[in-house]
Amino acid sequence: MATAVYPGSFDPITLGHIDIIKRLTPLYDEVVVLVSYSPHKNYLFTAEERKEFLRSNLLDLKNVRVDVHQGLTVDYLKKIKAKVIVRGLRAVVDFEYEMAMASMNKKLFPDIETALFFASPDCYYISSRAIKEIARYGGNLNGLVPPNIQPILLEKLKLPT
Ligand code: ADP
């Protein structure tokens, strides 16, 4: 059975992430969306909140599950006996980081491969970081994040007027 693991911060989930996940489902038997947690990183939302935002927006995709992991992604793959890590590429700026990460993961666990998916033309400019900046100023998040995430984000980040 071919399983793809799609790791990321998902802080928060965007329509760009969902686009990648939907494109993965017909290609793999199982897709695990892996919410990464590192005590050294600052997140807006807790790992459980990020997981719930993903879960609530992926209910109709039957071969997708969401999990949380603290530590090396390759250790998670070893644990569930998966061989494929999926990442998304938005622009050239993503490339260097993703290539270094893929090479490091290969060094740590030679059996795994990283599959890179190009962002769709409608999504290549969407990032969690930009979303948070827009939310901070009460901007319109339509077409950028799922509808149920919009009020939560605005509530959490909107500057007092
Ligand atoms: P990380 O902090 O691990 O980079 P992100 O949540 O920002 O996590 O992204 C997870 C993965 O999804 C990364 O490979 C990133 O390049 C990819 N990604 C993020 N936004 C998009 C998008 N709009 N289209 C395609 N891929 C994306």
Which CATH number does the domain housing residue 28 bear? 3.40.50.620
DSSP state of 125: T
Task: Give the number of domains in the chain.
Answer: 1
Enclosing domain of residue 56: 3-122
Q: What value does the mean pLDDT take over residues 35-64?
A: 97
Spell 95-118 as b/e; 16+ CB within 10 A means b. Answer: eeebeeebeebeeebeebebeebe
Residues with CB under 6 A from ligand 1: 8-10, 14, 16-17, 20, 87-88, 90, 94, 119, 123, 126-128
* pLDDT score recorded for residue 161: 57
Between the CA of residue 1 and those of 30, 87, 112, 142, what are the distances in Å?
A: 8, 20, 15, 37
Token pair of 103, please? 């090479």
Dump pLDDT digits (tens) for 99-139.
999 999 999 999 999 999 999 999 999 999 999 999 999 89
* pLDDT score recorded for residue 158: 72
Separation of 78 CA from ligand 1 center, angstroms?
A: 22
pLDDT at 84 over 70: yes
CB 67 within 8 A of CB 34: yes
| Average pLDDT of the chain to the nearest whole number | 95
* 73 lies in some domain: yes
* 149 lies in some domain: no
Residue of 14, 84, 87 to test ligand 1 pocket, by largest number of atoms within 8 Å of CB: 87
pLDDT at 159 over 90: no
* 127 lies in some domain: no
* 7 lies in some domain: yes
- Give the position, in ligand 1's atom list, of the atom nearest the Cα of 123: 23
